[in-house]
């Protein structure tokens, strides 16, 4: 039964519950102490051992009920057209449970169908599911495959041959075979809901990470926000290190001698040299015109979830003019802040030259060689003045300028794109249209400053 419980733990992990190996061992011990007789007590006990939050406890209870449920097989209805013409008026219509086997050579599965032994059929189906490895199902397209394997384990081929030979009960067996197919499919679908949920979610997340942010379906926006927050938390945990890093092996001789003066300079207590780690200071300029507004909102959400790993983060949004939106982002939830930013400055026609002039007035004097300027935009200024000289001044005053362009590099310089004018002043100018690309750029930025 420990193997069964470990399968349950795997199914619970697929729902998003975090279960460590130590907690799995605790679950086995809880099972041994509580036993299987009282299912409610076992469910509550596993909830205490494995769930850490109320949400996880609800998920675990739902998973428990689904995992330990057993399909209640219902007797199939007999085909009315196949009733014997001379049957008594009050006789029960023939079904898979009625009648005796006709002649010899009947299949074992056909015998069970004729006898109507639902308990034995359910047990055989459970064993067949285990032999077919139905718990390894990962996608919904495998449902029919595993259902077929299960029926073949139960003796479907022999039953097919018996039906092909005909006979007075062939119609009943044919109906029983169709009924078994439905029961097998239902069992496989239950295992799909249990064991493929994690794989399905993982596959969906991978697809969303590679999807273009500007063409997301409305139904996927909330899921993408969850992904962005999770990625930001992961990066923050990785790069929000202690403010000083001890370089073991490089002795600070002066401080060591000073610390050990009470012992005559004998170095009982050694002091090692440390390197102060500075968090990157970041100023972000986001184009929120209609063409790149969706990408900009996800960038702001990503960065604002990285507060632990960034310092001095200031945000500016622009279309035909540039405003600072740091206070808006600090005071409102990110979804409301995004809507407010779009109301104030969004969906206009891009004017990069005028926006750079506004940024020059708002923040140019505060740039220094610890500041990274991150610009997100397609560099399409609608044939207005580009003012590349202002970007040159920004590059001279700051540590680096990074430009994220949602358009493919082959489109840079075509039409009204001013990207070739801006690119010489950027330390990095790269294509950024998906969440994967955005994460890669931000992680490189954090790694370089670590």
Residue-wise pLDDT for 224-251, tens only, equals: 777 887 788 777 777 665 544 555 667 7
Q: What is the DSSP letter of 76?
A: P
- What b/e string do you get for 18-35 counting C-beta neighbours within 10 Å, with b at 16 or more? ebeeebbebbeebbeebe
Q: Would you kindly state where each structural domain of the chain is located, as residue ranges?
A: 2-67, 106-198, 242-276, 281-449
Band of the pLDDT at 28, cuts 50, 70, 90? confident
Does the structure show a pLDDT above 50 at 50?
yes
Note the pLDDT of residue 360. 94
Using a 10 angstrom Cβ sphere, with 0-12 exposed, 13-18 middle and 19 or more buried, the burial of residue 170 is middle
Q: Which of 298, 286, 139, 120 is nearest to 212 (CA)?
A: 298
Does the structure show a pLDDT above 50 at 102?
no
| Whether the Cβ atoms of residue 446 and residue 279 lie closer than 8 Å to each other | no
Question: Which residue would you say has higher pLDDT here, 106 or 329?
Answer: 329
Does the structure show a pLDDT above 90 at 311?
no
Collapsing DSSP states into helix, strand and coil, what is residue 52? coil
Q: Which of 68-82, 98-112, 255-269, 405-419 has the highest mean pLDDT?
A: 405-419
Does the structure show a pLDDT above 50 at 275?
yes
Give residues with Cβ within 8 angstroms of 128, minimum separation 6: 149, 150, 151, 153, 154, 184
Kindly report the CATH class assigned to 281-449: alpha beta
User: What confidence tens digit (pLDDT) does each residue in 61-100 have?
Assistant: 888 888 877 655 555 555 444 444 443 333 333 344 333 3
Percent of the chain with pLDDT over 90: 20
Band of the pLDDT at 37, cuts 50, 70, 90? confident
Q: To the nearest whole number, what is the mean pLDDT of the chain?
A: 80
Residue with tokens 């075509």: 414
Does the structure show a pLDDT above 60 at 386?
yes
> What's the mean pLDDT in 353-367?
94
């Amino acid at each position: 039964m420990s193997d069964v419980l470990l399968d349950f733990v795997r199914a619970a992990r697929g729902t998003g519950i975090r279960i460590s190996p130590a907690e799995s061992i605790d679950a086995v011990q809880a099972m041994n102490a509580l036993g299987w007789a009282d299912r409610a007590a076992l469910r509550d006990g596993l909830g205490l051992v494995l769930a850490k939050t109320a949400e996880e406890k609800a998920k675990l209870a739902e998973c428990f009920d689904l995992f330990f449920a057993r399909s209640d097989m219902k007797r199939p209805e007999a085909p009315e057209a196949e009733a014997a013409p001379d049957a008594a008026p009050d006789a029960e219509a023939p079904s898979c449970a009625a009648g005796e086997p006709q002649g010899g050579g009947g299949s074992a599965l056909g015998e069970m169908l004729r006898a109507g032994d639902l308990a034995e059929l359910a047990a055989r189906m459970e064993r067949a599911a285990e032999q077919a490895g139905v718990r390894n199902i990962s996608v919904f397209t495998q449902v029919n495959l595993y259902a077929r394997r299960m029926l073949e384990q139960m003796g479907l081929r022999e039953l097919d041959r018996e039906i092909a030979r005909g006979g007075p009960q062939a119609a009943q067996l044919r109906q029983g075979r169709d009924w078994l197919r439905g029961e097998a499919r239902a069992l496989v679908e239950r295992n799909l809901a249990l064991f493929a949920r994690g794989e399905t979610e993982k596959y969906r997340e991978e697809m969303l990470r590679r999807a273009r942010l500007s063409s997301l379906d409305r139904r996927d926006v909330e899921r993408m926000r969850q992904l962005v927050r999770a990625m930001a938390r992961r990066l923050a945990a990785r790069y929000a290190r202690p403010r000083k890093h001890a370089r073991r092996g490089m002795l600070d001789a002066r401080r060591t001698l000073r610390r050990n003066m009470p012992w005559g300079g004998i170095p009982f207590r050694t002091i090692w040299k440390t390197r102060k780690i500075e968090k990157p200071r970041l100023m972000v300029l986001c184009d929120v015109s209609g063409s790149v507004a969706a990408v900009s909102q996800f960038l702001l959400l990503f960065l604002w979830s990285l507060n632990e790993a960034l310092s001095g983060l200031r945000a500016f949004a622009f279309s035909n003019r540039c405003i600072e939106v740091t206070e808006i982002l600090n005071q409102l939830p990110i979804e409301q802040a995004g809507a407010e930013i779009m109301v104030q400055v969004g969906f206009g026609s891009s004017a990069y030259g005028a926006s750079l002039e506004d940024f020059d007035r708002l923040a140019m004097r505060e740039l220094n060689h610890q500041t990274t300027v991150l610009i997100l935009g397609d560099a399409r200024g609608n044939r207005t003045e580009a003012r590349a000289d202002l970007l040159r001044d920004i590059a001279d005053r700051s540590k680096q300028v990074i430009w994220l362009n949602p358009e493919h590099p082959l489109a840079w310089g075509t039409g009204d794109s001013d990207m070739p004018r801006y690119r010489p002043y950027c330390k990095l100018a790269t294509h950024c249209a998906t969440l994967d690309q955005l994460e890669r750029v931000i992680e490189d930025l954090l790694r370089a400053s670590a």
